Structure 1
Amino acid sequence: MALKLLVLLIIASSALSVPTHGKQKAAKCGYESCTKPKDGMLNVHIVAHTHDDVGWLKTVDQYYYGHRNNIQKAGVQYILDSVVKELWEIPERRFIYVETAFFAKWWFEQTPEIHRKVDQLVQEGRLKFAGGAWSMNDEANTYYQSTIDQFTFGLGFLNATFGECGRPRVGWQIDPFGHSREFASLLAGMGYDGLFLGRIDYQDKTQRMKDKTMEFVWRGDDSLGKSSDIFTGILYNTYAPPPGFCFDILCNDEPIIDDPSSPDYNVDRRVDGFFARAKQMARAYSTNNVLVTMGDDFNYQDAGMWFKNLDKLIKYGNKMAADDNLNINIFYSTPDCYLKAVKDANPVLPIKQDDFFPYASDPHSYWTGYFTSRPTIKLIEAEANKYMQMAKQLYVLAGLSMNKMPVLDELKSAMGFLQHHDAITGTEKQHVTYDYIRIISAALHEAHEEITTEALNKLIHGSSSDVKWKFDRCQFNESSCVTSENARGAMIVTVYNPLAWSVLAPIRIPISGEKTLRVTDGSGKTYATQTTYIEESIRKIPSRSSIATHEFVFVANIPALGFKSFYVQKKKTGKRHRRDADVSRSKDEYNVVSGSEAACDDPMVVQRYDDELGDEGVSSISRSASTSLRTVTSGGKTYELSGTVGYYPGYLGNNMVYANRSSGAYIFRPNAISATILSILNKTDVTGNVFQEQRFVMSGNAEYTQRTYTVLEYSEVDWLIGPISDEDGVGKEYVMKYISNILNNGEFDTDSSGRTTLKRKLNQRPQWNLTLEEPVAGNYYPIVGYISIKDSESNLSLRIIPDRPEGGASLVEGEIEMMLHRRLLHDDAFGVGEALNETYNGRGLVVRGTNRIYYSDAKFAFKDVLDTRNKPEVFVTDARGITLEEFKALNTEKSWIGNLANGVHLLTLEPWNEGELLLRLENYLDKSEGSTKQIDLSNFMSGFKVKSVQEMLLSADKLKSNHNQWVWSVADQFAADINKEYGSFRKTARAVDRVKMADDGNKINLDAKEIRTFVVKYELD
């Protein structure tokens, strides 16, 4: 499937600016194809749909082909076969499809005749797409960049295949377990007219139904104002049919029997029952329209069952309504047609400015466990996104030919799978997790071999060279690197920075033995290095395959949007002396060499030398009783920061009633109101000229290391958890607690999809009075970008930026708590059907990660998040046979961009078509931090001559000039209500709408928090 699809997407990119679809002019696929509602009646919009998870209980392929139906009876290919057949037979029928990944796979298996029929159905508005991304993404754990990419990929396919008629008008997020404010802003930027949600907190939903506020305008960003507004509707039945009206082969509900001679004739009773349900639903909405979802998970494998019964329901329902003067009108519809009917009714809608986290489905079921579930796949996704951005950039910068686009697009496809709301969430079965890892690993391998390796060789050696270096992608999370740990001579370390500003980056390279190494760049400059011992617990991670015993570390300045290579070799030294010590003693009682040459690789033999070390330093290790991580003085007051690790015992219940809900893959339900704190078994201090560390070994198979670098403003906390013991029969949920004497008054900030900030307050929600029976789980929030607390008496703040999505909270004054790893022994009964019990070789999975810590009174900017999420990529090359002088003669350093104005981020740089690239620029500052930024696209990147620029919507599938945003009538009272409830905690919700500065040719302006997307035609200088 992939090759055909991806070649098509290449063709698609050239069609984005000028639609070329043959039926564009004759098409009536948009709002003009909708059945018009009738005035004065309750208009019941029947929406036939299927929800097809791109992996959950079965793998992507198993779901598509209908394999392993003993797990779940589901086969997507049969759904699409059946639906197309039934739509073709009766023109009044309508259907929506959502998951582009499945549709694309099915499309390429069809005959030209089926292509013709499906195209006609789409052009006539009988088959419509909703959502349209590669998968229906999660919104808690997904990073905004990954979300944009997978929408661009999915919508690109639909545009290439069906033109404008394939373009969805509405977002359809019916199954994710909570919803992100930033996601709403992104959809507005992509030109969607509305968004429909399935799951919101049960207390929130109850209040909204009572107040008739199930529909509202969601303002995605205060800085962007009205341009980030999007109509949002909450579906009444999540996405299922009304109880008793499921007509699928998977259901057991009563069909509609219209033969009067049959003893089972039931038309009158069934229609009356449906009328009662429709009227009940209508009481929750403010117009005379109600959307009734008719479908569910993997429904319509035999679409005839559904459509035959829906045909009868509509036929007899309208007849009975007319006969009895009931003023009810039933018809096939779609979400966008329902949206148009609501728009025409011109309701006055409230505005929402917060998000829908955390989500609870009952008093004891807070879906906050999945913020952390399967932390390994969360890290894989974060690292894969970072790698994909680099690969796209290198593709353009090295001028690779378009014949490698299928390789790049295969990586985009794999990343789209990982965004699914049962992938990155960790809420899938274990065998499905393995399959996701298989898919992304294969895509990364191909991209590395076919794109990254070729691009770096071309850039370093020149396009005419036939030299082919191998660039090892090391497993730094496990301190493993085949090339560096097996090197017997010199090696070359190449570091690529995808950001539009230069960065100071700590480079940590695993090596075998305690070698003395000198690092030199292409200009001849040498760098201070420090060598440190890899803890035994890391060396014994069960999945690790490495002989590395040490890491050598240096800090390097990497240019903006560029790379830098370093030559690493053994350092020649003079006379050496053996330290007067018994080498049989523990390693942490000795000095570990940094910047001096060791005579043997035995890590227990520690040596020092008399020669001048210059910029090299010695790392010493000693024991200490102190547990302080850092001390800061602000406003004349001293603030301490310390850390510790603990765990919550997971609640074990039978799930038969709310009060017996178990903690599981979805649900965080601790059987305690505070974490059990682990004891410190050992603490080691490591000092040196590059970094200093404190290493803590805890009980319960937990460790963490706090590290500060001499020249960096942040600290790092490396943590290692596992194997989590299950010998006592209790599942455990491990947390890292950062403890300070900050006074934050129960308030803390978290990010929204890694991009914007939301205020949180302990035990409160902005828009309803919260009753909370789970005080821990109910105060947890998703952390993709950061979590912070700020002192109320000074400017001091504590900010934690994780290396992957994690759950977090501030439950105690002055503390931040981050959940790191979970091992549970019972299912929570929300569908996955197995406990979240990850193992390796029969023992609990060991997980390692890193948090960045900012503890200062410096003003926070999202630049820190961008620095962390886009850390430089590091590659190691064996340099045997390459001298230092030969290395210096190569292109060892290159930058394609000067540091852009503060606040400007190069979000996307990727090949689009022959002679075209896709460019996204972002102003990451909010309106309180900075003004409009101007960039001249004609010359902002060296080596590229810009020929023309076309601005697109955020999703790059439509010219921005061709889009008109819908404007809604909104109420003003919400601002006063929020201020009354929250006082000074929350700023007034009434944002001042910005006045957009006009561009001047290719000089474009970026307002606060604005992302602009361009297709740029260029040629290389």
Structure 2
Amino acid sequence: MGVAQHHDAVSGTEKQEVAFDYAQRLSQGLSSGNLVINQAYSRLLPKAGQPPPSVPQLLCHLTNISECLTVQDQTRFTVTLWNPTIQPVLHHFRVPVTRAYTVRDPTGQPILSELIPVSDQTKKIPGRTSTANNDLVFRASLPALGFNTYYFEAKTEEEPAKAQVKITHNEECILQNQNVRVEIDAQGNLGHIINLKKSLAVEFHNQGFYWYQSFPGNNSRSEFQASGAYIFRPVSADPQPVSTTRTITCIKAENVQSARIVFNDWASQEIILYDEAEYAEVEWTVGPIPVNDNIGKEIILRYDTDVNSGNKFYTDANGREVLERTRDYRPTWNYTVVETVAGNYYPVNSRIWIKDQDKQFTILTDRSQGGSSIHDGSVELMLHRRLLYDDRLGVGEPLNETAFGEGLVVRGKQILFLQAPAASAAYHRIGAQRMYMHPLATYSLVQQTYDNYAANYRQTWTALADTLPLNVHLLTFEHLVENVYQIRVEHYFEQNEDDTFSHPVTLDLQSVFNSIGKIEELVEVTLNADLPLIDLKRLTWVTGDKESSHPNAPEARLMANSTVRLIPMQIRTFNVVVSHP
């Protein structure tokens, strides 16, 4: 986690050799984590009196490019999905395969699963070695803080495929489920997203990939500052579209509908709508960025809408508080506009939005990116950069990383919500939390028939006896020693942003420990858990409003019961002593 959260690792401001070292350390961490996963499942999977599984649980790190060599040709295997959140979730999952399978849910019933062709853009990604031509898509309803196991068995040639997948090329594509409608014309232009339940629509004047030309300065003076690892400085404030034409492939199945839009050899997007989803998903792929013209390029994905947002937009701070941004303005000093684009870029850790009186258009990101609203009604996010000059601020080399003899290919995901402003917080807060804490998939090459497997192993399990509030997140659940645990809980809504979820909430921590034992002792500690909260002595002063800065001290060293109260944005940490049954 230290490497993954290091500022150079996140932003790319390190030498290439350091990046290689980071990758090696992260790989070692994943291997160690896989050992922990197997230790946990060796206790959770077997039914009473049964031995642990003889085959391990495996991770597949490249499923985002439809590659899982471990399972793609197997006759039978299992997929176990772990839900790390404390609420049940509905999740659509993809498994790259070379054949058709029957998929059984935890009750043993066959469920709907559909073979969706892998795109040509995915097959051409440098380094991809999989022969899987399809993703098998199925829907999973996962219990809170628990798992479901899905059993895959290859179909025989005599078994006909029931599901019908309809594919069209370069025709109008309408994606629609119970909640959302997405309209895309025959030229691949996104036209509208419509919230069917709320009768809201957003119109897109333009949507797609653009590129800024990187400034090729010599860094001798500020006006000659080059765009580099630390500095974003485009030559012009008007980015160029990556292509003037595009092609579209429309795919419709029962679980999922999508529009694959190809701009050129190195930029494409897939707009996806899953059954029952309340949002549209955009999976973008960029790279290798061409630089044979000796021009550095910085690639954005931009949405130009009819939202009357004026010069204001909103970005989050570390996935928690959200800040209002005003173009070409700073609240604490008189701002002189020098860089019209870069001067209005802000960190986007998890979300950015624009709004007017009637509607709010929110984009959730799967990683930290730079973003802005350079024009009224427009939102853009920086996806990928390939630069040819060093900005002389410490790295000492251009940001021109390669792999497999070519520039890097980057793939990511954005989630698009359209809601009324007053209702949006419930969607983007919960949506961002579930995007970050998405289910963890592990694979196992079981040899037993389904009946034998079901007789020996649990196929569903949850640590919770009760459903916990939607506005609470379990940040930490750690076994310290013997019967002592550490738990950290968070109220992740801000005050006054939602009529339902922005209020104090009470929960019983015993619900989290039901599968372990009874809470005998509960002590609140400081946020970093190095001191009982009652022993914390802070510097005291009087504010301008004549109020004391000292926090209210706890009434007792030990809490009377396991019920705790959280106010919006509050995080509380507890050491818990449990008696095991």
Give the TM-score, by structure 1 length.
0.51
| Superposition deviation, residue 550 in structure 1 | 1.2
- Residue in 2 that maps onto 1:555: 139
Structure 1 counterpart SS, 2:531: coil
How many angstroms does 1:568 deviate by?
1.5
User: How many aligned residue pairs are there?
Assistant: 545
Partner of 1:871: 438
Contact 2:138–2:255 (8 Å) recurs in 1:
yes
Letter in 2 for 1:864: G
Give the CA deviation at 1:1000: 4.8
Query: Is residue 2:376 matched to residue 1:813?
Result: yes
Contact 2:200 2:418 in 1 (8 A): no
Asked if 1:783 corresponds to 2:367, the answer is no
How far 1:633 sits from its partner (Å)?
5.7
Shift in alpha-carbon separation, 1:815–1:997, aligned structure 2, 3 A: farther
Q: 1:820 and 1:849 mapped to 2: Cα distance?
A: 8
Residue 956 of structure 1: aligned partner = 529
Following the alignment from structure 1 to structure 2, what is the Cα–Cα distance between the partners of residues 658 and 637? 46
Query: What is the distance in 1 between the residues matched to 2:467 and 2:474?
Result: 11
SS in 1 for 2:527: coil
Aligned mates of 1:564, 1:433 — CA distance in 2? 36
RMSD (CA atoms) = 2.4
Q: Distance in 2 between matches of 1:759 and 1:685?
A: 37
Q: Do the aligned partners of 1:787 and 1:799 also contact (CA within 8 Å) in 2?
A: yes
After superposition, residues 536-551 of structure 1 pair within 5 angstroms as 536-551=120-135
Alpha-carbon distance in structure 2 between the residues aligned to 1:805 and 1:759: 18
- Do 1:478 and 1:544's aligned partners in 2 also have CA atoms closer than 8 Å? yes
Letter of the structure 1 residue corresponding to residue 571 of structure 2? I
Q: Which runs of 5+ in 2 are unaligned?
A: 172-185
In the TM superposition, residue 951 of structure 1 has moved relative to its aligned partner by: 1.0
Amino acid at match of 1:801: L
Structure 1 residue 617 displacement after superposition: 4.3
Deviation at 1:735, TM superposition (A): 0.5
CA shift, 1:528, in A, is 2.0
Deviations 1:698-731 (A, max 9, x none): 1361011110111211221111111101111010
Aligned residue among 500, 504, 509 for 2:95: 509
User: Could you tell me which residue of structure 1 aligns to residue 474 of structure 2?
Assistant: 906
Q: What is the aligned partner in structure 1 of residue 509 from structure 2?
A: 937
Selected match of 1:1017 from 557, 577, 580: 577
The equivalent residue for 2:313 is 748
Equivalent position SS for 1:473: coil
1:1002 CA drift (Å)? 2.1
SS of aligned partner of 1:697: strand
User: Structure 2 CA distance, aligned partners of 1:668 and 1:530?
Assistant: 43
In structure 2, C-alpha distance between the alignment counterparts of 1:458 and 1:619, rounded to whole Å:
43
Displacement after TM superposition at 1:464 (Å) = 5.1
- Rounded to whole Å, the distance in 2 between the matches of 1:556 and 1:503 is 8
Counterpart in 1 of 2:179?
Answer: none
Alpha-carbon distance between aligned partners in 2 of 1:911 and 1:619, rounded to the nearest angstrom: 50
Give the aligned partner of residue 235 of structure 1: none
8 Å CA contact retained: 1:528, 1:617? no
- Change in CA separation of 1:547 and 1:770 when aligned onto 2, cut-off 3 Å: same
Alpha-carbon separation, structure 1, partners of 2:565 and 2:380: 39
Alignment correspondent of 1:674:
238
Alpha-carbon distance change, 674 to 971 in structure 1, aligned in 2, over 3 angstroms: farther
- Is 2:44 the partner of 1:497? no
Instruction: Name the residue aligned to 1:886.
Output: 452
Match of 2:182 in 1: none
2:413 corresponds to 1:850: yes
Closer, same or farther in 2 for the Cα pair 1:1000/1:520, shift >3 Å?
A: same
Taking the aligned partners of 2:337 and 2:544, their CA distance within structure 1 comes to 29
Partner residue of 1:628 out of 190, 201, 208: 190
Structure-to-structure mapping, 1:756-835, within 5 angstroms = 756-790=321-355, 792-794=356-358, 796-835=359-398
Using the alignment, how far apart are the partners of 1:483 and 1:812 within structure 2? 47
Shift of 1:828: 0.4
Q: 1:478 to 1:993 in 2, by over 3 A?
A: farther
Structure 1 unaligned regions, length at least 5: 1-414, 577-595, 597-612, 973-989
Greater fraction of residues in helix: 1
Task: Tell me the secondary structure at the aligned position of residue 787 of structure 1.
Answer: strand
Q: How far does the alpha carbon of each residue in 1:721-744 deviate from its partner, in whole angstroms, 9 at most, with x for none?
A: 111011110100000112321111
Secondary structure of the corresponding residue to residue 319 of structure 2: coil
Query: 1:527 corresponds to which letter in structure 2?
Result: I
1:916 aligns with 2:488: no
Over 3 Å counting, the alpha-carbon distance change for 1:956 and 1:636 in structure 2 is closer
Displacement of 1:818 after TM fit?
Answer: 0.7
1:575–1:1016 distance in 2 versus 1, CA, 3 Å: closer
Preserved contact between residue 619 and residue 689 of structure 1 (Cα < 8 Å): no
Q: Hey, what's the Cα distance between the residues in 2 that align with 1:993 and 1:871?
A: 38
Counterpart of 2:176 in structure 1 is none
Q: How far does the alpha carbon of each residue in 1:365-386 deviate from its partner, in whole angstroms, 9 at most, with x for none?
A: xxxxxxxxxxxxxxxxxxxxxx
2:43 is aligned, of 439, 444, 458, to: 458
CA contact (8 A) 2:534 2:554 kept: no
Is the Cα contact below 8 Å between 1:648 and 1:733 reproduced in 2? Answer: yes
TM-score of the pair, normalised by structure 2: 0.89
| 2:211 maps to amino acid | Y
Cα deviations across residues 70-123 of structure 1 (Å, max 9, x unaligned)? xxxxxxxxxxxxxxxxxxxxxxxxxxxxxxxxxxxxxxxxxxxxxxxxxxxxxx
Distance 1:493 1:740 in 2: 40
- Take 1:673 and 1:550, find their aligned partners in 2: how far apart are those partners? 41
Contact 1:562 1:893 in 2 (8 A): yes
Please give the alpha-carbon distance, in whole angstroms, between the structure 1 residues aligned to 2:159 and 2:460. Answer: 35
State the Cα distance separating 1:574 from its structure 2 match.
5.8
Q: Describe the SS at the equivalent of 2:9.
A: coil
> Structure 2 CA distance, aligned partners of 1:473 and 1:619?
32
1:602-631 CA-to-partner distances (Å, cap 9, x unmatched) read xxxxxxxxxxx3xx4424343221522642
Rounded to whole Å, the distance in 1 between the matches of 2:541 and 2:550 is 15
Report if the CA contact (8 A) 1:700-1:725 is conserved.
Answer: no
How far is the alpha carbon of 1:519 from its aligned partner?
A: 1.6
Amino acid at match of 1:885: D
Amino acid corresponding to residue 453 of structure 2 in structure 1: F
The CA deviation at 1:882 is 1.6
- Verify the 8 A CA contact 1:747 1:759 in the aligned structure 2: yes
Q: Which residue of structure 1 aligns with residue 229 of structure 2?
A: 665
Q: Whole-Å Cα distance in 2 between the matches of residues 772 and 993 of structure 1?
A: 41
Q: Distance in 1 between matches of 2:490 and 2:347?
A: 23
The answer to whether the Cα contact below 8 Å between 1:734 and 1:819 also exists between their aligned partners in 2 is: yes
Asked if 1:702 corresponds to 2:249, the answer is no
Given the superposition, is the C-alpha separation of residues 910 and 553 from structure 1 closer, same or farther in structure 2, using an over 3 Å criterion? same
How far apart, CA to CA, are the structure 1 residues paired with 2:150 and 2:513? 24
CA contact (8 A) 1:752 1:758 kept: yes
Q: Do 1:522 and 1:887's aligned partners in 2 also have CA atoms closer than 8 Å?
A: no
Report the Cα offset of residue 507 of structure 1: 0.5
The one-letter code matched in structure 2 to 1:453 is N
Kept after mapping to 2: 8 A contact 1:786/1:802? yes
Tell me the residue number matched to 1:568: 152
Deviations 1:953-1011 (A, max 9, x none): 11111111111333444457xxxxxxxxxxxxxxxxx9x99999976532111111111
Compared CA separation, residues 939 and 872, structure 1 to 2 (3 A) = closer
Q: Deviations over 1:431-463 (max 9, x none)?
A: 000001111111210220x21012113211248
SS at match of 1:693: strand
Residues 417, 826 of structure 1: CA spacing in aligned structure 2 closer, same or farther, 3 A cutoff? same
CA distance in 2, matches of 1:453, 1:971: 56
- CA-CA distance at 1:470 after TM superposition: 2.2
**Aligned with 1:833: secondary structure?**
coil
3-state DSSP of counterpart to 1:730: coil
Give the conservation status (yes or no) of the 8 Å contact 2:540–2:550: no
Distance (Å, rounded) in 2 between the aligned partners of 1:693 and 1:715: 10
SS in 2 for 1:482: coil
Tell me if the contact between 1:460 and 1:891 (Cα under 8 Å) persists in the aligned partners. yes
Deviations 1:309-340 (A, max 9, x none): xxxxxxxxxxxxxxxxxxxxxxxxxxxxxxxx
Q: Which amino acid is 2:431 matched to?
A: D
